[in-house]
Chain A
Amino acid sequence: MIESSRLSSPSRSLWRHQRDRLATGLIAAGGIGVVLAVMAIGAFLAFEVLPALVGGGLDVGRLRDSLTPMAWGTLKAALWAMVFAIPLALGAAMHSALFMSQRLRSRMKPTLEMMEALPGVVVGFIAGLVLAPWIERHLAGALALLFLLPSGVLLAAAGWRRLPVSARRHMSLSRAGLWLMPWLALLAYASFALAPMVEERLFGGDLRFWLDAELGLDYATRNALIVGLAMGFAIMPSVYALAEDALSGVPSRLGEGAHALGATRWQTLWRVVLPAAAPGIFAAVMIGAGRAVGETMIVLMASGNTALMSLNPFEGMRTMAAGIAVEMPEAVPGSEEYLLLMLAALLLFAFTFLVNTLAEVVRSRLRRRYRWLGGVP
């Protein structure tokens, strides 16, 4: 300040403006540079792979042999992950956006955000080394759970209606997410405890042999079901967060109007809020799918890495991401193997980029629609 005040006023202002222009230029250059560097990824992959692909440097037969099972496995893993993640994520999003109290909701969101932060390597380790052998021994119980949990919830709902009013107010639907937990845990425990008896009666002792003998389904320890469960767990929070944003972003006057006409909250959700937020939910699912396709450590540790091409949920698969992670460090640059893995990386990049762009476009349309409807975006 002291130094600059010594300068005469016009030259000082000139200096200031020159400095301003210089700095702006630098910021622009730096910003463009950074953005270009980030974008360079796609360019680099294409640059590495495409010449070989076009020029015939890659043997098409080999390409088909090794890439098709990986592409198949990638989609299969993502599919099963979505089967687990979508009901959980969308259900939780609907519940927290429409049924929960504001206070509970503000606790719920960070909790599930933390779930998103759990590293894949931890989830994968638990899934591959702990869950997979355990489920192999308790397959009947685990499968029974798929039916038992929803019916348990409905049973609880039916029982709830018979409760006295004071108790009902205490255990309201808005807090059902919490007070259902012990009941469901108990149910899960019962399912695993009772499953061996059912297995003995219905399936002649072991469900896995029954599947093999009667349906011809092979059961591998590390299979699509395990991967789906673990990866569903991993991508569920991000789908939830996006879907919840879309649902709660729907202008509140829409819902209030429906309430005023006598609709229940579920009817309001189903007929009014959900259609309005559908594009946002679609975007959330797409982004979830993008994440499932690229998840590496969970698949690597829990999939068994078998190059099978089947739809059987009890068999393993090999995915592109896991293949890259294991084989890339050993591949010699420029070799066929290396190019093949590069191509896999390019496919992953292209797929996720397209899916995300689609989701982003849909979301920005949605935001405009909300604004038009008069809500706060």
Chain B
Amino acid sequence: MTFQGKWRLPCACLAALWLSLSFSAAANEPVGTLGMVGSDTMAGLMLRWGEQLAERHPGIRLQLQASGSASAPPALAAGTTRIGPMSRSMHDHERAAFIEAHGYAPVGVEVARDALVVIVHRHNPLEFLTLAQVDAIFSRTRRCGAEHELTRWERLGVEAIEGRIELHGRNPASGSYGLFRQRALCGGEYRRRLNEHPGAAAVVAAVTESPEAIGYAGLNHLTPGVKALALEADGNRYRPDAERVRQDDYALSRSLYLYTNLPPGEVLSGPERALLDLILSSEGQATVTELGFVALSDEALVQQRRRLGFDTPAP
């Protein structure tokens, strides 16, 4: 006890000195395990970025717990993770909880763009739908202002496909279910006839197999077996192509974020900095495209880099 008491101060001083010295000596080499908690939509993306990061800096290892976007804010607020991938922006109460814990707001870095796409069978001649039509097809409340329910293809003017419209969507636990309900159904209720699939790939597979089907899935799940529909909003028709999704013209576009715990006036360091530096580079954004999401525009990239205090321009 006495030993401890007596020596504690000098020891601490020495350690601090040692620490600062060693950091200055090898600060250029980030090392450590980067734990992340958050979105499952982004799991593939994060894993691929992790691989690339390990190539750049062999001392960094990535650990990912992909249990859904909702798991990121509590972990960030409590400080058990410094980085939380989320497929939506933080809700107000989540942000408030973080501010209460740390005294400043979390920094949300936009890392990629994504969209929910309304899909039909590849031989369906339909090319576009208005949002009101989407609502009339998928919901029983019709809050977006359609007058009639749409339950048959004939009513949509599609002659080649006969019969009832078969609806495919996600299960309530998924983020897509909520987003589609909020944006496409104006917050209304889904029709009971909806086939609720436990995964987006299953939705695409179901629509691939049956000509009468319609469904929605994330951009990265599209295959040539299905056809993505354009959406008409305010008289403009937009296809879910990269440019429209990037500009937020396509009505069901969304951003993917990495939320970080960064006190104001400080810059990121160590593995976190290395990760974001990679993501906000052309190499990292190429991965975004590779996995079927939409890469950020160059201006957005530069802006994000500047915000994080990365002095080097995107390579």
Pairwise interchain contact B209-A327, C-beta atoms closer than 8 A = no
Minimum distance in angstroms from A206 CB to a CB of chain B = 8
Q: Does A209 contact B (CB under 8 A)?
A: yes
Q: Contacts A329-B173, A330-B68 given; indicate if A306 touches B198 (C-beta within 8 A).
A: no
Minimum distance in angstroms from B58 CB to a CB of chain A = 35
Pairwise interchain contact A218-B164, C-beta atoms closer than 8 A = yes
Docked Cα-Cα span, A208 to B210, in Å, equals 12
Q: Mark B164-207, 1 if CB is under 8 A from A, else 0.
A: 10100001110000000000000000001111111000000110
Docked Cα-Cα span, A266 to B119, in Å, equals 57
Q: Mark A28-56, 1 if CB is under 8 A from B, else 0.
A: 00000000000000000000000000000
Residues from chain B with Cβ under 8 Å of A306 in the complex: 192-196
Q: Contacts A136-B210, A304-B195, A306-B192 given; indicate if A209 touches B162 (C-beta within 8 A).
A: yes
Pairwise interchain contact A327-B192, C-beta atoms closer than 8 A = no
CB-CB nearest in chain A for B197: A305
Residues from chain A with Cβ under 8 Å of B67 in the complex: 329
Q: Does A221 contact B (CB under 8 A)?
A: yes
Pairwise interchain contact A305-B171, C-beta atoms closer than 8 A = yes
Q: Does B163 contact A (CB under 8 A)?
A: yes
Q: Mark A98-140, 1 if CB is under 8 A from B, else 0.
A: 0000000000000000000000000000000100110010000
Q: Mark A298-331, 1 if CB is under 8 A from B, else 0.
A: 0010001111100000001010000000110111
Partner of A330, one of B173, B193, B197: B173
Q: What is the total number of residues of chain A having a CB less than 8 Å from a CB of chain B?
A: 25
Partner of B198, one of A132, A308, A326: A326
Residues from chain B with Cβ under 8 Å of A221 in the complex: 166, 195, 206, 209-210, 213
Pairwise interchain contact A220-B195, C-beta atoms closer than 8 A = yes
Minimum distance in angstroms from A199 CB to a CB of chain B = 14
Docked Cα-Cα span, A222 to B213, in Å, equals 12
Residues from chain B with Cβ under 8 Å of A212 in the complex: 163-164
Residues from chain B with Cβ under 8 Å of A136 in the complex: 209-210
Minimum distance in angstroms from A296 CB to a CB of chain B = 12
Partner of A327, one of B164, B173, B206, B210: B173
CB-CB nearest in chain B for A129: B205
Pairwise interchain contact B171-A327, C-beta atoms closer than 8 A = yes
Residues from chain A with Cβ under 8 Å of B194 in the complex: 306
Residues from chain A with Cβ under 8 Å of B196 in the complex: 304-307, 318
Residues from chain A with Cβ under 8 Å of B197 in the complex: 304-305
Residues from chain B with Cβ under 8 Å of A69 in the complex: 192
CB-CB nearest in chain A for B152: A212
| A to B CB contacts below 8 Å, 10 in the list | A136-B209, A208-B163, A220-B166, A221-B166, A221-B209, A305-B195, A306-B193, A307-B196, A326-B171, A327-B172
Partner-A contacts on B (CB < 8 A) = 67-68, 162-164, 166, 171-173, 192-198, 205-206, 209-210, 213
User: Sorted from nearest, which 6 A-B pairs have the closest CB atoms?
Assistant: A133-B209, A330-B173, A305-B196, A304-B195, A307-B192, A326-B171
Partner-B contacts on A (CB < 8 A) = 69, 129, 132-133, 136, 208-209, 212, 218, 220-222, 300, 304-308, 316, 318, 326-327, 329-331
